[in-house]
């Protein structure tokens, strides 16, 4: 199953100011998610940002929020975006959801599993998630596989969104995102 530009949304889960420093490779996570976020925006893929209890954990880190200033930001107290019933209709109307964020074993996991249970095709970007401990991250990856959630890399997402070197955006995207990435 391939990710399709007309059927997918990118959901950025809880990459927030006060929580970010606690996860593995925080700056690397922001860089990798920023790469995918900017590529998604360039290709016209809808983006949604979620924030877990923002009054306590802060908002989405500025480096990411500024890449998609028009993206809806949803607030939640439930760990799962689905349980929180905060996802916009525009996301729920699409068949596929590409997930990045933190923490991989809590909010991203619960959101992925509940989106899948709701009938969505769910793709977790393995180089776009993180947790505070490596064991939790590794266990989350195993759980995604056990549940039938698709594990992808950000390059896989980009190439699946493009589908062909004949895509009018291919040359621009390959120069911007694949050379010296």
CATH of the domain at 20: 3.40.50.850
Residue 166 lies in a domain: no
CA-CA-CA-CA dihedral for 172, 68, 47, 174, to nearest 10: 10
Task: Read off the pLDDT of residues 47-106 as tens digits, 9 standing for 90 and up.
Answer: 999 999 999 999 999 999 999 999 999 999 999 999 999 999 999 999 999 999 999 999
**pLDDT the model gives residue 144:** 98
**pLDDT the model gives residue 121:** 98
Q: How many domains does the chain have?
A: 1
Residue 148 lies in a domain: yes
Residue 22 lies in a domain: yes
Task: Read off the pLDDT of residues 114-166 as tens digits, 9 standing for 90 and up.
Answer: 999 999 999 999 999 999 999 999 999 999 999 999 999 999 999 999 999 99
d(CA 168, CA 181): 21
Residue 62 lies in a domain: yes
Specify the pTM.
Answer: 0.96
Residue 77: is the preceding peptide bond cis (ω within 30°)?
no
Three-state helix/strand/coil letters over the chain: CCCCCCCEEEEEECCECCCHHHCCCHHHHHHHHHHHHHHHHHCCCCEEEEEECHHHHCCECHHHHCCCCCCCEEEECCCCCCCCCCCCHHHHCCCEEEEEEECCCCHHHHHHHHHHHCCCEEEEEEEEEECCCHHHHHHHHHHHHHHCCEEECHHHHHHHHHCCCCCCCHHHHHHHHHCCC
Check pLDDT > 90 for residue 179: no
Check pLDDT > 90 for residue 180: no
Is-contact 109 137, C-beta < 8 A?
A: no
**pLDDT the model gives residue 98:** 98
Is-contact 131 102, C-beta < 8 A?
A: yes
Residue 28 lies in a domain: yes
91: domain range?
A: 9-155
Residue 163 lies in a domain: no
Is-contact 104 15, C-beta < 8 A?
A: no
Residue 95 lies in a domain: yes
d(CA 110, CA 88): 17
Residue 38 lies in a domain: yes
């Amino acid at each position: 199953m391939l990710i399709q530009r007309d059927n997918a949304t990118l959901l950025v889960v809880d990459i927030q100011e006060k929580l970010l420093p606690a996860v593995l490779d925080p700056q690397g996570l922001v860089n990798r998610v920023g790469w995918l976020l900017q590529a998604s925006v360039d290709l016209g893929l809808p983006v949604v940002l979620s924030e877990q209890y923002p009054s306590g954990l802060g908002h989405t880190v500025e480096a990411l929020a500024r890449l998609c200033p028009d993206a809806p930001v949803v607030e939640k107290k439930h760990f799962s975006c689905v349980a929180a019933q905060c996802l916009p209709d525009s996301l729920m109307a699409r068949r596929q959801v590409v997930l990045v964020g933190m923490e991989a074993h809590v909010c991203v996991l619960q959101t992925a599993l509940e989106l899948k249970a709701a009938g969505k095709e769910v793709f977790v970007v393995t180089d776009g998630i993180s947790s505070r401990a490596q064991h939790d991250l590794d266990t989350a990856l195993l759980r995604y596989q056990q549940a039938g959630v698709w594990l992808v890399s950000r390059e896989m997402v980009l190439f699946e969104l493009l589908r062909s070197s004949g895509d009018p955006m291919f040359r621009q995207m390959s120069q911007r995102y694949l050379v010296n990435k």
